[in-house]
Structure 1
């Protein structure tokens, strides 16, 4: 008889198989990358300024929890490369909406805001009502006057 217990056991086995396949993919890719890095280091094709962050001394052997095989995991050097913070799509769109509302002293139509955002950011607002409700939650000075009309009320 097929019970919930049997179904859960089957699902657990499926998850185990999926995890093993994913870990194998990661292992293969990691091995390829490490091999390519060592080839580049051996051939000296890289500029001396752009030396690899991973040297053979930094490679540590780590065993997978799902198999008895061991894999090599590179450990980054002490120097860290700082990533620049990327401004997300939503944030760009919100800033463009605030900009048009602040610049104009009179009420602005939702369609005008939508066109402005598209021109400024290149992103299309999927649902204008939801988008503007988010804008209103972020800044209490943005207010909906009427159907499709929004205004930025400056504090006096």
Structure 2
């Protein structure tokens, strides 16, 4: 006996089979796309490698590439150090590192990333600059 219930069950089974077939087709297509992308990536990396080799071959005999230094170096650092010395000389009493940093940055318009490191280097370069205690600096005229 074939009734509506049986027909609906059969149709559900057909839909499930169709879904599985469609999912398989999508997965096959997805795999083909991924494979082609891998091929393109390999070809692109090979091409870049060849370009680098050509550049290297054309620059043989010329000077090696010059490495650029990062960060603020000589001219900025000298300006900051000179300003620190000027401020310390003008100050008769010990000055806190935070205040010194603020004054230097105001006067030069440049930032000091690490004040402790900056002051340690300054103390090495200028023996009259002394650290009295925790964060207190002074220019020692008697030394």
Scaled by the length of structure 1, what TM-score is found? 0.46
| Cα offset, 1:153, TM superposition | 0.3
Tell me what 2:122 maps to. 135
Q: Cα distance, 1:105 vs. partner?
A: 1.2
1:150 aligns with 2:137: yes
Larger radius of gyration between Structure 1 and Structure 2: 2
**Residues matched between the structures, number:** 84
Aligned to 1:18, which of 52, 59, 67? 52
Are positions 1:122 and 2:95 aligned together?
no
State the 4+ residue runs in structure 1 displaced beyond 2 angstroms.
Answer: 16-24
* 3-state secondary structure, aligned to 1:150: strand
Alpha-carbon RMSD across the aligned residues, in angstroms, is 2.9
Q: In the TM superposition, what is the alpha-carbon distance from 1:121 to its structure 2 partner?
A: 1.1
Unaligned runs of 5+ in 1: 1-13, 25-63, 67-86
3-state DSSP of counterpart to 1:112:
helix
Higher relative strand content: 1
Structure number with higher helix proportion: 2
**Would the alpha carbon gap of residues 109 and 17 (structure 1) be closer, same or farther in structure 2, given more than 3 Å must change?**
same
Q: Secondary structure at the match of 2:132?
A: strand
Partner deviation per Cα, 1:95-123 (whole Å, 9 max, x = no partner): 11111011111101101111111111111
Specify the alignment match of 1:89 in structure 2: 76
Change (3 A) 1:20 1:124: same
Q: Give unmatched runs, 5+ long, in structure 2.
A: 1-48, 62-73
Flag the structure with more relative contact order, 1 or 2, with Cα contacts below 8 A and sequence separation at least 6.
2
